[in-house]
Chain A
Amino acid sequence: MVISIARQAACCAALALAGAATAATAATLKIGTEGGYPPWSMVDASGKVTGFDADVGHAICQKLATKCRFVVQAFDSLIPSLQADRFDLVISGLSVTAERAKVIAFSIPYATEDSAFVVPAGSPLVTVADQATLFKGLAGKTVGVQGGTTQGAFLQKHAPDLKLKTYETQDQMQMDLSAGRLDASFSEVTPQSQFLDTAGKGKFAMTHVVIKSSADPAVLGQGIGVGINQKNAPLKQKVDKILCDLIADGTIKASSEKWFGVDLSNYQACK
Chain B
Amino acid sequence: MHPSLIDILGAGWGGMLLRGAGMTVFISLCGISLGMAIGVAGATLKTRGNILVRGSVAVYTLIVRSVPELLIIYLLFFGTVGLASGAADWLEWDDLTSTVFPVLVGILAIALISGSYSVEVFRGAFKAIDPGQIEAARAVGMNRSQCLRRITLPQLFWYALPGANNVWQAALKDTALISLVGLVELMRAAVLGAAATRAPLLLYALAGALYFIIGACSQALFALAERRLGPGMRRAER
A20 within 8 A of B: yes
B85 and A16: CB pair below 8 A?
A: no
Q: A46: nearest residue on chain B (CB-CB)?
A: B12
A71 and B93: CB pair below 8 A?
A: no
Main secondary structure of the interface of B (DSSP, over half): helix
Contacts A77-B182, A85-B82 given; indicate if A44 touches B196 (C-beta within 8 A).
yes
A42 within 8 A of B: yes
- The interface residues of chain B lying within 8 Å CB-to-CB of A236 are none
- The interface residues of chain B lying within 8 Å CB-to-CB of A198 are 1, 198
- The interface residues of chain A lying within 8 Å CB-to-CB of B26 are 1-2, 5
- The interface residues of chain B lying within 8 Å CB-to-CB of A84 are 78, 81-82, 85
A169 within 8 A of B: no
A120 within 8 A of B: no
Contacts A30-B97, A74-B179, A77-B180 given; indicate if A36 touches B195 (C-beta within 8 A).
yes
Contacts A86-B85, A198-B1 given; indicate if A16 touches B91 (C-beta within 8 A).
yes
A23 within 8 A of B: yes
Of B82, B91, B195, which is in contact with the most chain A CB atoms at under 10 Å from its CB? B195
State the CA gap A41–B146 with chains docked (Å).
Answer: 60
A12 and B85: CB pair below 8 A?
A: no
- Per-residue interface assignment for chain A, residues 40 to 83, with 1 indicating a CB less than 8 Å from any chain B CB and 0 otherwise: 00111111000000000000000000000101111011001100
B192 and A36: CB pair below 8 A?
A: yes
- Per-residue interface assignment for chain B, residues 126 to 151, with 1 indicating a CB less than 8 Å from any chain A CB and 0 otherwise: 00000000000000000000000000
B92 within 8 A of A: yes
Chain A's interface size range is: 35 or more
State the CA gap A4–B19 with chains docked (Å).
Answer: 10
- A101 → B minimal CB distance (Å): 21
Of B74, B92, B182, B198, the residue contacting A20 (CB under 8 A) is B92
B195 and A42: CB pair below 8 A?
A: yes
- The interface residues of chain A lying within 8 Å CB-to-CB of B237 are none
- The interface residues of chain A lying within 8 Å CB-to-CB of B16 are 45-47
- The interface residues of chain B lying within 8 Å CB-to-CB of A69 are 94, 98
- B56 → A minimal CB distance (Å): 29
Q: B81: nearest residue on chain A (CB-CB)?
A: A84
State the CA gap A87–B100 with chains docked (Å).
Answer: 14
Q: A67: nearest residue on chain B (CB-CB)?
A: B94
Report B84-139 residues with CB < 8 Å from chain A CB: 84-85, 91-100
Contacts A1-B26, A20-B92, A47-B16 given; indicate if A73 touches B181 (C-beta within 8 A).
yes
Report B163-211 residues with CB < 8 Å from chain A CB: 179-182, 184, 191-196, 198
Q: A49: nearest residue on chain B (CB-CB)?
A: B192
B13 within 8 A of A: yes
State the CA gap A86–B84 with chains docked (Å).
Answer: 8
- A87 → B minimal CB distance (Å): 8
A37 and B94: CB pair below 8 A?
A: no
Q: B1: nearest residue on chain A (CB-CB)?
A: A198
- A52 → B minimal CB distance (Å): 14
Q: B13: nearest residue on chain A (CB-CB)?
A: A45
- The interface residues of chain B lying within 8 Å CB-to-CB of A43 are 192, 195-196
State the CA gap A45–B8 with chains docked (Å).
Answer: 9
- A32 → B minimal CB distance (Å): 8
A1 and B25: CB pair below 8 A?
A: yes
B195 and A16: CB pair below 8 A?
A: no
- The interface residues of chain A lying within 8 Å CB-to-CB of B12 are 44-46
B62 within 8 A of A: no
B81 and A16: CB pair below 8 A?
A: no
- The interface residues of chain A lying within 8 Å CB-to-CB of B94 are 19, 28, 30, 69
Of B74, B91, B192, B194, which is in contact with the most chain A CB atoms at under 10 Å from its CB? B192
A42 and B180: CB pair below 8 A?
A: no
Contacts A76-B180, A85-B82 given; indicate if A20 touches B25 (C-beta within 8 A).
no
- List 14 other contacts, CB 8 Å, given A45-B193, A85-B81: A5-B22, A36-B194, A37-B195, A38-B195, A43-B192, A45-B12, A45-B13, A45-B16, A47-B16, A72-B184, A77-B74, A81-B81, A86-B85, A198-B198
Q: Can you list 8 A-B pairs, Cβ within 8 angstroms, ordered by A?
A: A4-B22, A19-B94, A43-B196, A44-B11, A45-B13, A77-B77, A81-B81, A84-B85
Residues of A in contact with B (beta carbons under 8 Å apart): 1-2, 4-5, 12, 15-16, 19-20, 23, 28, 30, 35-38, 42-47, 69, 71-74, 76-77, 80-81, 84-87, 198, 201
